[in-house]
A = this chain, B = another copy of it.
Amino acid sequence: MPAKTYDTIAGLRGALYARRAAGAGLSVGFVPTMGALHEGHVSLVRRAVSENDITVVSIFLNPLQFDESADLDSYPKTLDADVRLCGEAGADLIFCPSVREVYPDGASTRVEMDGPTDVLCGKSRPRHFSGVLTVVSKLFHIVEPDAAYFGEKDAQQLAVIRKLVRDLNMPVTIVGCPTVREADGLAMSSRNTHLNADERKAATCLFRALAAAREKLGDAAARSGAPRGEGEWASLAAKVADAARAVLDAEPLARTEYVELLDAETLAPLNDSSKAALCAIAVQIGQTRLIDNMRFSLDG
């Protein structure tokens, strides 16, 4: 059965109500997307389908999370192909509302967060995460899912949404799903379609930089064990980031925005080897901004 599409909140809610009424305790899985779907999104939909009775995908290019209108304007839009991909992956309901349907009165009510929103991408895009938090809150209230699926590729987004759900006691389970990569390591991204042939080759530098970070982290652990005290932690984080940065600097088409090694959950500076570390990178390649990350265990 192909997925049914709805462009109004009332339409989607009616359809969900009817499906839920078909059986007590039917679970709803939800995959929020901005469209321009690729294999990474498809893996989220498949996971939701495998774990729930009903799967909802939203396709909504949320203007509130774009700090620059040029970035919003150039974002790829491929609705027909998206709907087909969702259906093939087993989604039941697709929600593709207009901006007017989602924000009929603008966005004078917003969800804001201090802490993990202020670092990494939050530095150069100060309104981005408030836009993400606001639209995700709205979508959770509309869909009322049991579980929602997000890619680990957007590691900061995933950390921020986990904190949103915890801090506001939202009744939904957040499931993080592994980054899907091309054969040469490039993380799948809707923005990859903007890359020309030379830029596409250069874009592997993100994955190579993360591999260098992992190697440096392994060396440091083997040589000196776990850091002690703030100074040693900061020094380790700087060494690992420098190793990754050297790979990015060697790529003439890449302009590095940030390379950081942080606590994977809080995105605060590392200070505890029992917690996972996140190495996160943002790079501009030509006109295209790409991000990638890897998560490392610190206790051997």
Chain A residues in the interface with B (C-beta under 8 A): 9, 24, 105, 107-115, 133-134, 137-138, 141-142, 144, 163-164, 166-171
Copy count, this protein chain:
2
Contact B112 A110 (CB under 8 A): yes
Chain B residue with minimal CB distance to A130? B112
Contact B112 A109 (CB under 8 A): yes
List B contacts of A168 (CB < 8 A): 109, 111, 134, 137-138, 141
Interface SS majority for chain A = mixed
17 pairs, CB–CB < 8 Å, chain A vs chain B: A105-B167, A108-B113, A108-B114, A108-B115, A108-B167, A109-B163, A109-B164, A109-B168, A110-B112, A110-B113, A137-B168, A138-B167, A138-B168, A141-B169, A141-B170, A141-B171, A142-B171
Chain B residue with minimal CB distance to A160? B109
Q: Tell me which of B111, B141, B142, B144 contacts A110 (CB under 8 A).
A: B111
> A99–B115 Cα gap in the complex (Å)?
21
List B contacts of A107 (CB < 8 A): 167
List B contacts of A142 (CB < 8 A): 169, 171
Q: Tell me which of B9, B24, B137, B171 contacts A144 (CB under 8 A).
A: B171
Contact B109 A109 (CB under 8 A): no
Chain B residue with minimal CB distance to A13? B171
